[in-house]
């Protein structure tokens, strides 16, 4: 006896079809019109879209940063993700300098244990290759950590030098992992920041004004050059500007395997609309790279449409305004960097992408689910409505209207970056491995039901 999702419109990245979907034992067994309902529990999906569960490839749950910890843990964060239609996340473990990556992996497994509400993978942030870091990377790949994030920004904290980046890239040429790059020229930005502070510029807006788009573009360019020298692909995280996008597009036009994601905040928010100048309220929008001028937004949408950008993830890294962002009340460099977004990625991209005519439904599915599954070694187990895939399924009501607000959201943070945004399109029911975990905005599953995903490196098979 299975669950038969009947009469919906199945949307995959490559096609749309009217079909029934049969789920058995947590897996999709069959997708075709007219499956015999006899003996199955029938779910009426007439008028609904049947989408592969969303995949958010960039989250920071329970993450120490700037003397505090991101406000959502694996329970509250993944529950909010599920409610919004995201059934898989990939979070970041952080190797503390001078320690082994395995220590960080153990620590992040512990954070997720008993808490994760959806399946989760882990990237590893490399801060130090030390004497055994390259072998550590291979060890991580054997544990399903098939991607590593390196920072070209945050000098003295997370930033690594070019030699470290290049060595790590060379290692991924052997072990098949993917380097994810935080691409901003941290050394140059630091000089600009110190000058601003010396001039008494301390308000949050100066976080944005001291991080020019060409400092992002230069780092993107450098990352792509190093990756091409090492003969490996590279994935640029949270790309925010036209200048940076141009670097990725030009590299892809030359046939280089450069990939990039952007995030809803860069597509929908701007310095002009969301920063007031000298107000500390602006700290709600302090994340890195920062908010950009509005003129960048149409370029990013266009990049998504034409596959110059492959993925939309959230970079969900929430800090409460009242008691966490306030750490930087007198100095923008002390504001914990990051913003909340894990719950509303699907709604925002559906509304502002599909409803606005900027993206097809198939492209919406591709950039929010299928492409991250492929790039991060989870496809076809995740990212598709297909026989054999995990039954991670969202029944999406394209006409449901919803107003985003901190008063009603499920993230454990006291503000929304998208407060008052009205969207059309929302998750009605969400299945994770065949279990109905969300219905009409209510989480029905247990904390801890989410499994760790051992992701495959390039050329590797599903483990
Ligand atoms: O401001 C941000 N993005 N915080 C999270 C850390 C990062 O760089 O992704
Ligand atoms: Zn980053
Ligand atoms: Zn991030």
In a domain, residue 204? The reply is yes
Atom of ligand 1 nearest to the CA of 153: 8
CA of 388 to the centre of ligand 2 (A): 34
In a domain, residue 435? The reply is no
In a domain, residue 401? The reply is no
In a domain, residue 408? The reply is no
Label residue 10 exposed, middle or buried (CB < 10 Å: 0-12, 13-18, 19+): buried
Report pLDDT digits (tens) over 348-385.
999 999 999 999 999 999 999 999 999 999 999 999 99
Residue 55 in contact with residue 369, Cβ under 8 Å?
A: yes
CA of 312 to the centre of ligand 3 (A): 13
pLDDT category of residue 462 using cuts at 50, 70 and 90: very low
In a domain, residue 414? The reply is no
Report pLDDT digits (tens) over 147-184.
999 999 999 999 999 999 999 999 999 999 999 999 99
First to last CA, the chain: 27
Pocket residue to mutate for ligand 1, from 59, 90, 338, 413, most atoms within 8 A of Cβ: 338
Each as own residue / partner, the long-range contacts of residues 412-415 (CB below 8 Å, 24 or more positions apart, any chain) are 412/71, 412/72, 412/73, 412/76, 412/77, 412/80, 412/318, 413/71, 413/72, 413/318, 413/319, 413/320, 413/340, 414/320, 414/321, 414/322, 415/284, 415/320, 415/321, 415/340
Residue 459 reports pLDDT greater than 90? no
Atom of ligand 1 nearest to the CA of 288: 1
Report pLDDT digits (tens) over 291-349.
999 999 999 999 999 999 999 999 999 999 999 999 999 999 999 999 999 999 999 99
Q: What's the domain range around 327?
A: 53-375
CA of 337 to the centre of ligand 3 (A): 9
In a domain, residue 162? The reply is yes
* % pLDDT > 90, the chain: 97
CA of 31 to the centre of ligand 3 (A): 36
What is the DSSP annotation of 256-298? --EEEEE-HHHHH--HHHH--SS-GGGGGG--SS----TTHHH
What is the reported pLDDT for 276?
A: 87
What is the reported pLDDT for 52?
A: 99
Q: How many domains are contained in the chain?
A: 1
Which residues lie with the beta carbon below 6 Å from any ligand 1 atom?
A: 60, 182, 238, 287-288, 315, 317, 337-338
Atom of ligand 1 nearest to the CA of 182: 8
CA of 338 to the centre of ligand 2 (A): 9
Residue 110 reports pLDDT greater than 80? yes
In a domain, residue 113? The reply is yes
Q: Which of 101, 86, 95, 96 is nearest to 144 (CA)?
A: 101
Q: C-alpha 251: how far from its chain's center? A: 22
Q: Give the distance between the most distant pair of CA atoms in the chain.
A: 74
Atom of ligand 1 nearest to the CA of 149: 9
State pTM to two decimals.
0.98
Which residues are within 5 Å of ligand 2 (an ion), measured at CB? Answer: 182
Q: Between the CA of residue 272 and those of 210, 263, 294, what are the distances in Å?
A: 16, 18, 7
Average pLDDT, the chain: 97
In a domain, residue 460? The reply is no
Kindly report the CATH number assigned to the domain that includes residue 144. Answer: 3.20.20.140
Report pLDDT digits (tens) over 403-427.
999 999 999 999 999 999 999 999 9
Report CA dihedral (95, 96, 100, 101) to the nearest 10 degrees.
-10
Q: Say which residues have a Cβ less than 8 Å from residue 311's Cβ, sequence separation at least 6.
A: 57, 259, 260, 261, 262, 367, 371, 372, 375
Atom of ligand 1 nearest to the CA of 158: 8
The residue nearest atom 4 of ligand 1, judged by CA position, is 338
């Amino acid at each position: 006896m299975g669950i038969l999702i009947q009469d919906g419109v199945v949307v995959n990245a490559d096609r749309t079809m009217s079909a029934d979907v049969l789920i058995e034992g947590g897996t999709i067994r069959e997708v075709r019109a007219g499956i015999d309902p006899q003996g199955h529990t029938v779910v009426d999906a007439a008028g609904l879209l049947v989408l592969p569960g969303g995949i958010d490839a960039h989250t920071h749950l329970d993450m120490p940063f700037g003397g505090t910890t991101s406000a959502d843990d694996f329970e509250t964060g993944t529950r909010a993700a599920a409610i919004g239609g995201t059934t898989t996340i990939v979070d970041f473990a952080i190797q503390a300098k001078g320690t082994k990556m395995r220590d960080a992996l153990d620590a992040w497994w512990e954070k997720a244990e008993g808490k994760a509400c959806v399946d989760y993978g882990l990237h590893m942030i490399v801060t130090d290759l030390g004497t055994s870091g390259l072998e550590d990377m291979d060890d991580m790949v054997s544990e399903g950590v098939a991607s590593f994030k390196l920072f070209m920004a945050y000098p003295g904290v997370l930033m690594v030098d070019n030699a470290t980046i290049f060595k790590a890239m060379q290692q991924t040429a052997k072990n098949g992992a993917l380097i994810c790059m935080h691409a901003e020229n941290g050394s140059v930005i630091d000089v600009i920041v110190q000058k601003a502070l010396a001039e008494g510029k301390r308000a949050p807006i100066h976080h944005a004004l001291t991080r020019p788009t060409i400092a992002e573009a230069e780092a993107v360019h450098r990352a792509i050059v190093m990756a091409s020298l090492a003969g490996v692909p590279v994935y640029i995280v949270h790309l925010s500007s036209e200048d940076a996008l141009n670097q990725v597009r030009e590299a892809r036009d030359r046939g280089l395997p450069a990939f990039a994601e952007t995030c809803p905040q860069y597509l929908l928010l701007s310095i002009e609309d969301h920063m007031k100048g000298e107000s500390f309220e602006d700290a709600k929008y302090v994340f890195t790279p920062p908010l950009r001028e509005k003129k960048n937004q149409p370029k990013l949408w266009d990049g998504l449409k034409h596959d110059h950008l492959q993925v939309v993830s959230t970079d969900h890294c929430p800090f409460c305004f009242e008691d966490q962002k306030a750490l930087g009340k007198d100095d923008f460099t002390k504001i914990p960097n990051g913003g909340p977004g894990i719950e509303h990625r699907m709604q925002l991209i559906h509304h502002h992408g599909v409803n606005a005519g900027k993206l097809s439904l198939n492209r919406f599915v591709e950039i929010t689910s299928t492409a991250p599954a492929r790039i991060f070694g989870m496809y076809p187990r995740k990212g598709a409505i297909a026989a054999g895939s995990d039954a991670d399924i969202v029944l999406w009501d394209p006409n449901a209207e919803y107003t985003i607000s901190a008063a009603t959201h499920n993230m454990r943070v006291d503000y929304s970056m998208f407060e008052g945004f009205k969207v059309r399109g929302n998750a009605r029911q969400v299945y994770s491995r065949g279990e109905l975990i969300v219905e009409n905005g209510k989480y029905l599953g247990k904390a801890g039901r989410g499994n760790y995903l051992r992701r495959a490196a390039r050329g590797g098979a599903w483990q």
